[in-house]
Chains A and B, each alone.
Chain A
Amino acid sequence: MRRLDMYVVAKILYIILVLFIIISPFAFIFYRAVTLRRPTGIVFIGFKFFMEIPEGYWKALGNSLLVGLLVALIDFVIAFPPAYVLSKYEFKFKRVITALLVVPMFTPDVVAGVGLSTVYIRYYHLYGTLLGTVLGLASTSYPMMLLPLLVSLKSLDPTYEEAAKTLGATPLQTILRVVIPLIGPGIFSGFLLTFVWSINNYLLPLYITGPGLDLLAVKLYSDIRWWGLLGRVAAEASILQLTTFGVMLLYLKTIGTKYLTGFVF
C-alpha cells in the first residue's frame, strides 16, 4: 500500500511538472504584459501596456484574420477532392499517394519561403499581394485540412450516399447535400487548425508578403526582435495568443479531440 501511494504521488508530481513546463512560457507572457519591474519590486499595472499598442497593430489583426479565413477556405477546396477519392476508392499505391500529399506539411518554412519568393518575383508576379500570401500559406498547411477530412470521411457510413443516389441525386448533389453536412465536424476541425496555423505563421509571410500587407504575426516577430524587452510587445503577443486560445478553446469545447487523430492526439 505504501509503495502504491508513492507511485501515485510521483505520477501526480510528474504531471504537474509537465503541465508547468508546457504552460509556463505562455502564461509568463501574460504576466509580463500586466506587470512592471521596478527596483522596489514588481507592480501590477493592469492593462496599461495594452493601451500603448500602436493603431497599425489592430489593423494587422484584421488582415491576419482575413488571411486566416481565406487560407482555411482554399485549403478546403484543395484538400476535399483527394480526401474524398482516397477514402472512397481502392487503387494501387494508395498509401504512398497519401504520404506524398502529407509531405508539404513538413517543409521548413524557411525553405518554402526561399522557393516561393523567387518564383513569385520572377514568374507569378504575386509578391506582396494578398492572393500570393494566401496561396503560399495554403501550400504548406493543406495537409492539416486533409488529415481530419480523411478521418471523418472514413468513419462516414457509405449507406447514406447510396441512399441519396438511389433516390435520384446526382453525384455533385450527393456530395453537397449529404456528404459535406455529415462530415461537418471534420471540416470544422481542419478549418480551425489551418486558421490557427496561418494566423500564427510569421516566417513564410516574411518572405512573400512584403511591406504592402501588415500581418499580426510578422509585426509581432519584428517587434520581438527589435523591442523584445518592452511590456508593450508582451501585450501584443498576448493579444495574438488570446485570439488563438479563444479559437482553440471553442474548438475543444464544441468538438473535442476526435478529429485530431494524426496530429496532436
Chain B
Amino acid sequence: MVVYLALVPTILYITLFWVIPILHVFIVSLTYRDSFIMGAPRFVGFTNYARVFSEYVRCIENSIKLPLAAAIVDLILGYPLAYILARRKVLFHNVLRASLIFPYFGDLYVSYGLWNMFLPGGIFDFVYKLLGVSYRQVLYTPYAVIAGFSIFTLPFMVLYVSSSLQEIDPTIEEAALTLGATPIKAFFKVIFPLTLHGAIAGFLACFGWNLGGYLIPLLLGGMRAGDVMTVKIVHLALHVHDYGVAAALSVILISMTILITFMTFKVTGMLR
C-alpha cells in the first residue's frame, strides 16, 4: 500500500502540469480571442472551430501532407540503414550509431543549418549553377521542408526498424538463402514481412514527431510552403493574441498527435 502512496506526487504533478493544461486548451478554444487570460472569459461556443475550418483548412492540409511525405522519405532512407546497422559491423559503425543522436538535439540546428546551406553562399551553389535554377526554386518550397523533416526524424525510423530486425533470428535468413532464394528474394519474401510492424511504427512515429515541428517549416518553407498548424498556432497565440483560434487549432493538433501515438503503441504491442 505504501508503494501506491509513493505514486501520489507523480500523479498529482502530471494532473496539474499535463492533464489540466491540455484540458484547458479545449476550454480556451471556446473563448473569444485572449479573453481567457485577460479579464473575464467570454465564451463564444464553437465559432473558433468554424473559423478554423473556413480559414485555416490549407494549413491543416499542409500539416498532414508534409510530414507524410517526410515519413515516406524516412522509410526509404532509414530502412536500409537499419538493416546495415542491425546485421553486421561496418565501416564507421560506431560513428554512424552516435551520429544518429544528432537530430535528437532539436530542430533548432537542423533548420538553421539547412537554411544556411540552401541559401546562396551555401554548399549547394554549384548545384544551382549546374541545373541553372535560382535558390528560390529550392528553398521556400515544400521540398525543402520535407528534406528538413526527414533529416530530423530519421533516427526514429532507424530505431523502430532495427529493434524489430533484432527480434528476428538470423538463421531464418540463412535458411532462405540455403534453400535457394536469391538475396533480393530472401529479403522481400522473408525479412521485409517480418519487420513490417517495425516499419509501420517508425512511419507513424516520424509522422507524429513532425506534426509538432515548428522551426523547420518556418525557416525552410517560408510563408507559403511552411504554412502548417504549429506555425499558425505560434503566430496566432504569441503575435496576434488570438488565443481562441490558436487553441482550436491546438485541439485538432493534439488529438491527431495522441491518435497517432496510440496507433504507434498498438503496432509495437505496448498496449497488449
A interface residues with partner B (beta carbon < 8 Å): 11-12, 14-15, 18-19, 21-29, 32, 37, 77-79, 81-82, 84-85, 89, 95-96, 98-99, 101, 103-104, 106-119, 121-122, 135-136, 138-140, 171, 196-197, 200-203, 206-207, 217, 220-221, 224, 228-229, 234, 237, 240-241, 244, 248, 252, 257, 260-261, 263-265
Contacts and interface: CB of A to CB of B under 8 A. Distances in A.
Given A111-B250, A237-B109, 19 more contacts: A14-B81, A15-B81, A21-B77, A24-B113, A27-B113, A103-B261, A104-B18, A106-B209, A110-B253, A114-B233, A115-B22, A118-B28, A196-B104, A197-B104, A200-B105, A207-B238, A228-B115, A237-B108, A265-B162
Contacts of A202: 106, 108, 215
B237 interface: yes
A14 B28 CA distance: 49
11 contacts: A22-B99, A22-B151, A23-B102, A84-B6, A104-B18, A110-B233, A113-B234, A121-B37, A135-B13, A202-B215, A252-B98
B20 interface: yes
Contact of B101 (A11, A135, A228, A248): A248
B247 A221 contact: no
A41 to B, nearest CB: 11
A103 B262 CA distance: 8
B2 interface: yes
Contacts of B100: 22, 264-265
Contacts of A200: 105-106, 108
Contact of B151 (A21, A27, A217): A21
A136 B271 CA distance: 27
A31 to B, nearest CB: 9
Contacts of A263: 104, 159
A217 B84 CA distance: 35
B257 A25 contact: no
Sorting the interface of chain B by its residue count into under 10, 10 to 19, 20 to 34 or 35 or more gives 35 or more
Contact of A114 (B109, B122, B247): B247
Q: In this complex, which of B9, B106, B214, B246 has the most chain A Cβ atoms within 10 angstroms of its Cβ?
A: B106
Contacts of B159: 263-265
Interface in B190-212: 208-209, 211-212
Contact of B113 (A26, A77, A229): A26
Contact of B13 (A78, A98, A113, A115): A78
Nearest to A248: B101
Q: In this complex, which of A95, A220, A264 has the most chain B Cβ atoms within 10 angstroms of its Cβ?
A: A264
Contact of B108 (A112, A139, A221): A221
B240 to A, nearest CB: 13
B264 to A, nearest CB: 8
Contact of B77 (A18, A28, A103, A252): A18
B92 A19 contact: yes
A112 B23 CA distance: 10
B110 interface: yes
B253 A234 contact: no
Contacts of A111: 22, 25, 212, 233, 250, 253-254, 257
Contact of B110 (A25, A77, A217, A248): A25
A119 B214 CA distance: 22
A156 B162 CA distance: 25
B214 A109 contact: yes
A22 B246 contact: no
A79 B11 CA distance: 10
A113 B96 CA distance: 34
B105 A85 contact: no
Contacts of B7: 81-82, 85
Contacts of B211: 108
B230 interface: yes
A138 B84 contact: no
B96 A114 contact: no
A98 B154 contact: no
